[in-house]
């Protein structure tokens, strides 16, 4: 059975909950990623910040990304997957919550990120379209 830890990108970097969205955008640029886990002062996952959050939920609403903090955008309990959970469970979680990326945790520690693309690359070609379609349903 393939597990989340087998396909995830290890060593995911967090943005601190008290760091600004400008700092988050620079980190996204430097890492060439579109999302960052938000970690609290207690090293626990608080949510996930996407480039879209910065643009749509801050800038488009007239917010100042230089003073807005990442922690303001971690809504509710973060959707995660356990490192030893199956890829089937990861797909079900992505589909249920309509997310394309999942933080992978081992206990309470962030160990990586699992993206829809990571799973698609490991699947047979004909299953990939069904996977993408399931996650992208409204």
Residues 93-117: pLDDT tens digits? 999 998 889 999 998 889 999 999 8
Given this model, what pLDDT does residue 73 score? 84
Closest CA to 101 of 41, 40, 42, 51: 51
Residue 134 has pLDDT above 90, yes or no: no
Closest CA to 90 of 104, 77, 76: 104
Which domains, and CATH codes, for the chain? 4-136 (3.10.580.10)
pTM: 0.81
pLDDT single digits (tens) 35-90: 999 998 887 899 999 999 999 999 999 999 999 999 998 766 889 999 999 999 99
pLDDT single digits (tens) 1-31: 899 999 999 988 999 999 999 999 999 999 9
DSSP 65: T
């Amino acid at each position: 059975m393939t597990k989340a830890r087998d396909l995830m990108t290890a060593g995911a970097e967090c943005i601190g909950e008290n760091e600004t969205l400008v700092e988050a955008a620079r980190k996204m640029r430097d890492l060439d990623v579109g999302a960052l886990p938000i970690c609290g002062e207690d090293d626990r996952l608080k949510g996930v910040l996407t480039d879209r959050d910065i643009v749509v939920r801050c800038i488009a609403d007239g917010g100042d990304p230089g003073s807005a903090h990442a922690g303001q955008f971690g809504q509710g309990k973060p959707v995660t997957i356990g490192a030893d959970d199956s890829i089937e469970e990861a797909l079900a979680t992505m589909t249920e919550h309509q997310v394309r990326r999942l933080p992978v945790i081992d206990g309470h520690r962030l160990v990586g990120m699992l993206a829809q693309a990571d799973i698609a690359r490991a699947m047979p070609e004909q299953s990939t379209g069904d996977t993408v379609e399931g996650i992208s349903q409204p």
